[in-house]
A and B are shown apart, each in its own frame.
Chain A
Amino acid sequence: EAAVTQSPRSKVAVTGGKVTLSCHQTNNHDYMYWYRQDTGHGLRLIHYSYVADSTEKGDIPDGYKASRPSQENFSLILELASLSQTAVYFCASSPQGRAETLYFGSGTRLTVL
């Protein structure tokens, strides 16, 4: 069974609304990540975390907040969703960070209208 589970699989949101994307891992990994992918571009790092109750900014954190309430769970929050945040979002976990292998969820397709 999948060790990194994202929910929902897809979501349609309205501009200005709040969106929460959830990620749950059973790998017992310390590191968790949120990436977004836009058509024609590579994955870009939004936020990551290496311990519960702490999050770090990635390359494109503006407009996003992250929450890591436990080792297993990592959420991405869009307080005021915008059209430019339409993308596919991937969650991943890693045992040691620092360019070790990432284990990905199957992605959430978010459409903001």
Chain B
Amino acid sequence: GDSVTQTEGPVTVSESESLIINCTYSATSIAYPNLFWYVRYPGEGLQLLLKVITAGQKGSSRGFEATYNKETTSFHLQKASVQESDSAVYYCALGDRGYGNEKITFGAGTKLTIKP
């Protein structure tokens, strides 16, 4: 079946350090995958951080980047220099552009804490 596996949290990084949260996926029943990173800040709902629908392309937002790699079935989230305001839970997700499939498969989430 379809699945998403991401870095198990919690993860703690010092401010201004670099960050990578790994995400790999299995899309056995999905013909046209969409890949997402969502973020949930304390007390809020999930919100879209970035989205990529074409293999080989990179998405970026708020200093975060992720490249859709079809060969390695990965969509790792990276940031060169984190800030305290990046403390949140990050979710990798896989969707299907195919008609009639409303399922989006989420990873378990990675809780990130930035130390000042």
Contacts and interface: CB of A to CB of B under 8 A. Distances in A.
A45 B104 contact: yes
B45 A105 contact: yes
Contacts of B34: 99
Nearest to B47: A104
B95 A99 contact: yes
B91 interface: yes
Interface in B73-91: 91
B71 interface: no
Contacts of B51: 101
Contact of B102 (A4, A45, A90): A45
A5 to B, nearest CB: 10
B45 A106 contact: yes
| Interface band, chain B | 20 to 34
A113 B80 CA distance: 45
Interface stretch (A13-21, A36-44, A63-71): A36-44
A59 interface: yes
Contact of B106 (A42, A97, A99): A42
Interface in B15-43: 34, 36, 38, 43
Contact of B48 (A45, A102, A105, A107): A102
Interface string A55-89: 01011000000000000000000000000000000
A6 B38 CA distance: 19
Contacts of B44: 106
B46 A102 contact: yes
Contact of B46 (A48, A90, A98): A90
Contacts of A31: 102
The 4 A-B residue pairs whose C-beta atoms are closest, nearest first, are A99-B95, A42-B106, A104-B45, A43-B106
Interface of A: 2, 4, 31, 33, 35, 37, 40-45, 48, 50, 56, 58-59, 90, 92, 97-107
8 contacts: A42-B4, A43-B106, A45-B104, A56-B102, A58-B103, A98-B97, A99-B96, A101-B51
